[in-house]
Amino acid sequence: MSDQLSNVVVELGFIEKAPAWKLRSKFFPAKVGGYPAWLALKDLPTNEELSCRRCSKALVFLCQLYAPFHDKENCFHRTVFVFVCRDPDCCQENDASNIRVFRSQLPRENEFYPPEPSKDVEPGSESPEAGDFNNLCRICGALGPKTCGGCKVARYCSKDHQALDWKAGHKEECKNPDTISKVSCKGNAKFLFPEFEIELEPEELDTAKEKTEGEVMKEYEELLRSGRVTHQNDDDSDTENDLIDMATKETDKQFQKFRMRLKDYPDQVVRYDRGREPLWVSSSNKPVDVPPCPSCGQPRQFEFQVMPQLLVHLKVDNSGKSIDWGTVLIYSCKESCQSNRNYIEEVAYKQDYSPISQVMKNHPYGAS
Ligand SMILES: [Zn+2]
Ligand SMILES: [Zn+2]
Ligand SMILES: [Zn+2]
Ligand SMILES: [Zn+2]
């Protein structure tokens, strides 16, 4: 078993443009943004479960990976969903309380999908989807227990999302209930992240080019320099060198390894490496005492991580604060156990570039 595992390479996820119909539940997508493509179409996570632990507002869908366990009958289909709070104030360093993760799985014979994969690849045929079995919030795609009092058609998870939709155009549309779509609206573009497919491919490491520590250090310094020189004029170059010295000394080696490992595939947004060691951003703030699975008591193991490059595609960057992460680490039940619920909450951890951000903060350059 362990020999077999050691041959397994890391699967890297990359962003691809894909037509919306291809990212529906029936095609078992791995994707970023848009509505969640729920796997089990009933017994979705509750609105409470899909709310931020900090501010209690509804979370936004971040990404999902389709990751069946081939040796487990009840994991013939298996998808892990990641949600995050949109509020930058809920984003704290090395703290994932603004992120929640859910696992759903189904045997080959199940009540939602045919045992043979769907060949129906034409646009327009959306079923089966969670909207066939549930009223879903038009803004976020979670359960929508609240109904618009005017049209009695539009459904929402919360007053917040109703208000958002009202301002985004439902105020007008509400007068003509016959024309209202149950599953989409203008307002969702203000809330959801842009939608993309995630394509997975194996990481090929060039072992012949294995670098010495000195080489890694040198390249790392160059990396730092290249990011800084544009801001400074010649007078600052001494201070700049000081900063680089300080950063390379104070930044731990793990962060350098992290940067170097990404060099050949800088666009990776996800690393899938179930049961093995994550690519740590830092040697500090590693998860300790990952709680066992509450449903079966078995340990949880590392399954995959979300990389900082994904942030580029989310369009969250603005001049002020925004959500971010060094990496988000997802841990899930080792056994991927069956439970009486269709969605089981797993755990996320967040690691940030703390040593370097501390250096930057302590240095006058950090502010500019
Ligand atoms: Zn929040
Ligand atoms: Zn909602
Ligand atoms: Zn209405
Ligand atoms: Zn379990």
Q: Work out the percent of the chain whose per-residue pLDDT is above 90.
A: 66
Per-residue pLDDT, 8? 65
Neighbouring residues of the ion ligand 1, judged by CB less than 5 Å: 52, 54-55, 85, 87, 90
Which of 326, 321, 316, 324 lies closest to 354, judged by CA?
326
How far is residue 4 CA from its own chain's centroid? Answer: 28
Q: What is the Å distance from ligand 2's center to 158 Cα?
A: 6
pLDDT, tens digit, 9 for 90 and up, residues 123-139: 667 889 999 999 999 99
pLDDT score of 254 more than 60: yes
Per-residue pLDDT, 64? 98
Which of 26, 43, 18 lies closest to 126, judged by CA?
26
Q: What is the Å distance from ligand 3's center to 164 Cα?
A: 12
Rounded CA-CA distance 261/222 in Å is 16
pLDDT, tens digit, 9 for 90 and up, residues 267-313: 999 999 999 999 999 988 999 999 999 999 999 999 999 999 999 99
217 class by beta-carbon count within 10 Å (0-12 exposed, 13-18 middle, 19+ buried): middle
Q: What is the Å distance from ligand 2's center to 338 Cα?
A: 28
Give, rounded to a whole angstrom, the gap between the first and last alpha carbons of the chain: 52
pLDDT score of 366 more than 50: no
Per-residue pLDDT, 352? 92
Mean pLDDT value of segment 236-254:
62
Considering the entire predicted model, what is its pTM?
0.85
Per-residue pLDDT, 241? 62
Per-residue pLDDT, 73? 96
Q: What is the Å distance from ligand 4's center to 345 Cα?
A: 10
Cβ contact 298:344 at 8 Å? no
Q: Which bound ligand lies closest to the C-alpha atom of 188?
A: 2
Among left, alpha and beta (phi > 0; psi -120 to 50; other), residue 236 is: alpha
Neighbouring residues of the ion ligand 2, judged by CB less than 5 Å: 58, 137, 139-140, 157, 161
Rounded CA-CA distance 148/239 in Å is 60
Q: What is the Å distance from ligand 3's center to 178 Cα?
A: 11
Q: What is the Å distance from ligand 3's center to 46 Cα?
A: 23
Rounded CA-CA distance 328/282 in Å is 12
Rounded CA-CA distance 62/39 in Å is 15
Q: What is the Å distance from ligand 2's center to 258 Cα?
A: 36
Q: What is the Å distance from ligand 2's center to 137 Cα?
A: 5
Q: Where are the domains of the chain?
A: 8-121+192-201+265-360, 204-262
Q: What is the Å distance from ligand 1's center to 53 Cα?
A: 7
